[in-house]
Structure 1
Amino acid sequence: MTFALVALGGAMGACLRFLTDRWVQARHDTGFPWGTLVVNAVGSLLLGLLTGATLFGAPAPTALVGVGFCGALTTFSTFGYESVRLLTDGARLFAVLNVVGSVLAGLGSGAVGVVLAAAIWG
């Protein structure tokens, strides 16, 4: 059953990542990977919320949402690829902004998720 929940969550997360990335990138006429930044920040927020819910004793659908959905929604490999691509294309400022911004957005979003969980279940 756990495998099926992970697979279902993964299928939904991967599809949402693709659609969100395309939707966000279509609205920005730059070489900066805004779509990847957005899905990683949203995924970090959801993981923070899920972690916080677990910390405060709320039932959490970890296999479906945490491992499956957020695992497929967020993408470290694309973030890494896009950062290196920006660097090798000579867009050093965008590369640095992507790395720093993604790390800060991920940590900040995760922390906000935990704080929200504390407000809801704490």
Structure 2
Amino acid sequence: MSPLLLVAALAGGVGAGLRYVLDRLLTPAGGVRFPLGIFVVNVSGSFALGVITGLGAALAPELSLVLGLGLLGGYTTFSTVSVETVLLAQRRRWRDAALNLFGTLVVAALAAGLGILLGAWIAR
């Protein structure tokens, strides 16, 4: 296994741990009606990946790989959004399910776009 792949894998583990911690911090003990923790994780991760992408050549390719693929790959999670959406729909909470699915998509895409703009601005 290459050292870069090993570092990226370790960064993925750190990202997953960060996701868990942030989700627990934003989710009260009794649960919530809307999965806010995972929403915040995915939006902030999309923004961060946008910044990394916007930085382009100003960031070493190895660092970009470790942060983007590794850390943020472990941090963000589409599968959790999918499962939370299905669980909300099963409970007949249609509005929350739609908001979770489409809200995450739209807000995360906007955050990624803003991150790319910021990264490109920083790299100038």
TM-score by shorter chain over 0.5: yes
Aligned to 1:76: 78
Matches within 5 A, 1:76-95: 76-95=78-97
Q: 1:110 aligned to 109, 112, 115, which one?
A: 112
CA RMSD of aligned residues (A): 1.5
Classify the secondary structure of the residue corresponding to 1:26: coil
Q: Distance in 1 between matches of 2:67 and 2:19?
A: 14
Classify the secondary structure of the residue corresponding to 1:14: helix
Gaps of 5+ in 1: none
Q: Distance in 1 between matches of 2:25 and 2:13?
A: 18
Q: Distance in 2 between matches of 1:120 and 1:28?
A: 42
Q: How many positions carry a matched residue from both structures?
A: 120
Report the CA distance between 1:26 and its aligned residue.
2.0
Aligned to 2:40: 38
Equivalent residues of 2:7, 2:66 under 8 A apart: yes
Mean Cα deviation higher: 81-90 or 27-36: 27-36
Q: Distance in 1 between matches of 2:32 and 2:23?
A: 14
Classify the secondary structure of the residue corresponding to 1:90: coil
Q: Does 1:9 align with 2:11?
A: yes
Q: Deviations over 1:5-31 (max 9, x none)?
A: 211211110100000001011289632
Q: Distance in 2 between matches of 1:105 and 1:80?
A: 16
Gaps of 5+ in 2: none
Q: Percent identity?
A: 35
Q: Deviations over 1:36-66 (max 9, x none)?
A: 1000001101110111111xx2124122100
